[in-house]
Amino acid sequence: MPPFSRSESPPEVDDDHLEAINAVIARLRGKIVSQISLPGHVRGLRTLNLVRGYLQAHLRRMIMFVDGGHAEHIAGRPLMTELASRAIYENVANYCDFSEKLKPLCETMDYETIDDLVRKSSFTTRLPDLLAEHGKDIAAPNILGQIDRMNRRYPDFRSAYDHLSEIVHPNGLGSVVYFARMSDTELTFFDKAAVPERAIESLISASFMLLFVDYELNEIESRLQRMEANLPTEI
């Protein structure tokens, strides 16, 4: 069953866009696998499959945020849906940033640098104790830099992310404005939200960004397959 129905979608999302969003979620869900082998007997194949493993892990994150955000919408917790929507923007930006770094390395078949990239990217952190132990090479990149790079591809990306950030942080849009309406004489509070329907609008808009993920995933896999076709069968 498609995650988003016509009845819950805002009128500005036309049927073609809604169909595209549901279709890309279905395609990405269909690309999830339970295992990837890490052979040691073929030069380079382990590195290529580590790349695939990295992509699989992040693909699961994004699908889980879509499913979780939608479940929270159904459960009547729109603020949790807004959190999931913001997370999708971050994950899309991170995914596409990794892809843009990887693709030129695939073209030059630079296995050593690819291996270095995927290993560092797989274990990025901002925890000081882990950075002290393993070195600053695994320092997680600044998410706002990745968001800004995505904004070059989709001009409203940063503004949508910033608006969601205002909501999920304990600022005005995420607290008093989110749960109350004020008149000259009183504050009226709403248990779910003053405008609960905006959360599903945010989630649908965030899910539209998965089209970039689908494109990049296909781009990377085509490059990995070309590299795999040129691998020797012996070490």
Q: Which residue bears the tokens 């008093």? A: 176
pLDDT for res 42: 61
CA separation for the pair 145, 93 (Å, rounded): 9
How many CA within 13 A on the CB side of residue 133?
8
CA separation for the pair 5, 13 (Å, rounded): 11
pLDDT for res 235: 45
pLDDT for res 147: 97
**pLDDT, mean of each 10-residue run, the chain (235 residues):** 82 88 96 90 83 96 97 95 97 97 95 93 90 86 95 96 96 90 89 89 96 97 93 63
pLDDT for res 137: 83
How many CA within 13 A on the CB side of residue 25?
25
pLDDT for res 13: 85
Tokens linked to 52 = 């695939």
pLDDT for res 233: 63
Enclosing H/E stretch for 116: helix 111-122
pLDDT for res 1: 63
